[in-house]
Amino acid sequence: MTAEGQALLYGWPDGPAACAVTTDVQGLHQLLAWTSPSFPIGAFSYSHGLEQAVEDGTVGTAETLAAWIDGVLRFGAGRTDAGFAVRAARQARAGDMAGLVETAIVSSALVPAGERALEARQQGRSFLHAVARGWALDKAADLAAQLDAVEVPVTLPVAAGACGGWAGLPEDMLIEALVHAFAANLVSAGVRLVPLGQTDGQRVLAALGPVIGAVATAARARPEAAPGGAAILADIAALRHETLYSRLFRS
């Protein structure tokens, strides 16, 4: 269809140029797609050990769910994954493929449980392949091939951070969105597991807004800080979930 035809069809008053999509809006579209629950990485099938916490009775209300996720964000994978995503984004922008491989090695090695390793690595690999095939980002396929060659798995924060860096997404927007997506997935798992109503789930997510922003900001301010966490109960729950007899989630 010609530009004039598009103008008539969509009602653009001064032709398509008047409604041209800006680079920032295009980046937002890309980021929303990559962090959407519909993005094909299987995030919905993981609870990050939350299922065990619900089974134990540690999490059973909206308030305890919010407190659990707050702790995971501040002291667990929320904090460490945000740092790895920042590193990966900056290395990707700099064209530092060797640095990306090193970040992938460290990130994968620090996952504290078998199911959590599956969660991080399966989603990371799926992310690279989805971006390479669905969004024609060849560098995502290149990273996957290089990591396969040295038998290094890629975790989700490294994959997402690197792709965001290659795509030129604003770093503050990228990291905040990745932390938010992680928190939102845990809220969704909690809504199904406790169970809670959808409105309670939204209240929990709204309450987590300040800590999501704080974690993202801290990661960007100190990307080279030594990785590591202190969410001990969450790590133990993830380990115990591996022997849970009846389960809805893979972690």
**Domains, in order of start, for the chain:** 45-242 (1.10.4190.10)
Task: Please state, in angstroms and rounded to a whole number, the distance separating the CA atoms of residues 227 and 84.
Answer: 8
The whole-model pTM stands at 0.90
| 47 closest CA partner among 180, 185, 191 | 185
| Cis, peptide link before residue 223, omega less than 30° from 0 | no
pLDDT at 18 over 90: no
pLDDT above 60 (res 63): yes
**182: its two tokens:** 């992680």
Please tell me the predicted confidence (pLDDT) of residue 19: 42
For residues 220 and 218, give the distance between their C-alpha atoms in angstroms, rounded to a whole number: 5
CA distance to 91, 97, 112, 159, per residue, from 84 (Å): 10, 14, 15, 10
With 0-12 / 13-18 / 19 or more C-beta atoms within 10 angstroms meaning exposed / middle / buried, residue 246 is exposed
Q: Stretch 29-46: mean pLDDT, rounded?
A: 95
Indicate whether 4 pLDDT > 70.
Answer: no
Task: Show Cβ contacts of residue 166 under 8 Å, excluding neighbours closer than 6 positions.
Answer: 92, 93, 137, 139, 140
How many whole angstroms separate alpha carbon 163 and alpha carbon 157? 10
